[in-house]
């Protein structure tokens, strides 16, 4: 598998990253180990998690995913695997005691507590990439970046990144780092898929000019691009099936944001393109994502081992020009159908 650098850091990772947010709820530990083992066998050396995982998140289960990853990490050489995790912030309003004292914030106190907790659960003495899960534009950027910079200098973190950020927030953070001589964000983890190309509007150019790498999450559109929700289907065990049937207002809104009449129409057209190319629609979605110059590693996720096969088929696949043109034609006709 090809390798790419994370921003300007010294970290080089596989073009595909295995996300772990299902581990501990939809995916039990034994299956999670199988998924991670097969990922390594396929050439994936990059794994992404977060202190609030698994999803759907609850205070009681928060940290379970990191614990599972930590137990797996002890079964292999630490320096052969790149681990990314994230710190919760004010956007995670439910994330209160007993996980950490007081409301989660991106200040020195909470960031240091969060890092200590993640290191303990992951059973490691350093984290390769540490990311701000959601930005808090109500805080001074200096406060967050100074805390992260200290932890890098202490050797507990190797590189830092942000997530779910906009162009202004990313540039504000980069400007602050340059001005104050602090560690810079080398990555940004945002939603980017065939059904959501908003990243290309502005952030892609910021990443190119500032040498920040995108780590796209939900490249399969939350599973929508597989076609499993087409024609109103709600397959058992699927995340949006659960959200629609039993979720609260926020979860139902998220399901609608990812799956709606426009995204269903675009998905069906992308599936036809995949069929013409002789590949699985999931393979098409992952291959398309990793073919962008501003993308370092595309974050995929599964609930069971068999779902890995169409993802792995994209590892060495490069879509030809006619396929890319067909995809772009759909995007022009049905722009950004997600949300």
Confidence (pLDDT) at 114: 94
Question: Is 53 one of the catalytic residues?
Answer: yes
Find tokens 């952030």 and name the residue: 203
Confidence (pLDDT) at 97: 45
Alpha helices in 81-166 (DSSP H): 108-122, 141-153
**Confidence category of residue 338, pLDDT binned at 50, 70, 90:** confident
Residue 143 is given by DSSP the state H
Which residue out of 53, 217, 229, 243 is catalytically annotated?
53
Superfamily (CATH) of domain 3-189: NADP-dependent oxidoreductase domain (3.20.20.100)
pTM of the model: 0.94
pLDDT at 241 over 80: no
Task: Express each pLDDT in 14-71 by its tens digit.
Answer: 999 999 999 999 999 999 999 999 999 999 999 999 999 998 778 889 999 999 999 9
Confidence (pLDDT) at 254: 80
**What backbone torsions phi and psi does residue 23 show, to the nearest 5 degrees?**
-70, 120
Confidence (pLDDT) at 337: 85
Percentage of the chain lying above the pLDDT 90 cut: 81
Confidence (pLDDT) at 122: 98
Helix (H) or strand (E) holding 47: strand 46-48
CA atoms in the 13 A half-sphere facing the CB of 217: 17
* Whether 99 contacts 59, CB under 8 Å: yes
Task: Express each pLDDT in 201-219 by its tens digit.
Answer: 999 999 999 999 999 999 9
Confidence (pLDDT) at 247: 76
* Whether 130 contacts 161, CB under 8 Å: yes
Confidence (pLDDT) at 256: 85
Looking only at the bridges linking them, the beta strands covering 298-300 and 16-19 are parallel
CA 226-191-11 angle, 5° bins:
110
**Confidence category of residue 233, pLDDT binned at 50, 70, 90:** confident
**Confidence category of residue 101, pLDDT binned at 50, 70, 90:** low
Residue 20 is given by DSSP the state -
């Amino acid at each position: 598998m090809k390798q790419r650098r994370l921003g300007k850091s010294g970290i080089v990772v596989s073009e595909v990253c295995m996300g772990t947010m299902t581990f501990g709820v939809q995916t039990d530990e034994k299956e999670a180990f199988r998924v991670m083992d097969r990922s390594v066998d396929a050439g994936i050396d990059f794994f992404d998690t977060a202190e609030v995982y698994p999803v759907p998140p609850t205070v009681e289960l928060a940290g379970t995913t990191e614990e599972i990853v930590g137990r797996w990490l002890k079964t292999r050489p630490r320096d052969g695997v790149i681990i990314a995790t994230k710190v919760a912030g004010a956007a995670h309003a439910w994330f209160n005691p007993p996980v950490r004292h007081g409301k989660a914030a991106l200040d020195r106190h909470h960031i240091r507590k969060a890092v200590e907790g993640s290191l303990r659960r992951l059973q490691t003495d350093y984290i390769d990439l540490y990311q701000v899960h959601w930005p808090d534009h109500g805080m001074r950027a200096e406060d967050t970046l100074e805390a992260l910079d200290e932890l890098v200098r202490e050797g507990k973190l190797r590189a830092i990144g942000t997530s779910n950020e906009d162009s202004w927030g990313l540039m504000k953070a980069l400007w602050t780092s340059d001005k104050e001589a602090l560690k810079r964000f080398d990555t940004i983890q945002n939603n980017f898929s065939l059904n959501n190309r908003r990243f290309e509007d502005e952030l892609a150019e910021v990443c190119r000019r500032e040498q920040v790498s995108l780590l796209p999450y939900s490249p399969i559109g939350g599973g929508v691009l597989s076609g499993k929700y087409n024609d109103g289907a709600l397959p058992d065990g699927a995340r949006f099936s659960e959200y629609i049937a039993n979720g609260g207002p926020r979860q139902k809104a998220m399901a609608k944001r990812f799956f709606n009449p426009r995204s269903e129409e675009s998905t069906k057209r992308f599936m036809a393109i995949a069929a013409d190319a002789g590949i699985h629609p999931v393979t098409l979605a992952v291959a398309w994502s990793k073919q962008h110059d501003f993308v370092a590693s595309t974050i995929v996720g599964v609930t069971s081992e068999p779902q890995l096969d169409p993802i792995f088929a994209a590892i060495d696949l490069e879509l030809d020009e006619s396929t890319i043109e067909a995809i772009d034609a759909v995007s022009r006709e049905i722009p950004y159908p997600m949300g």
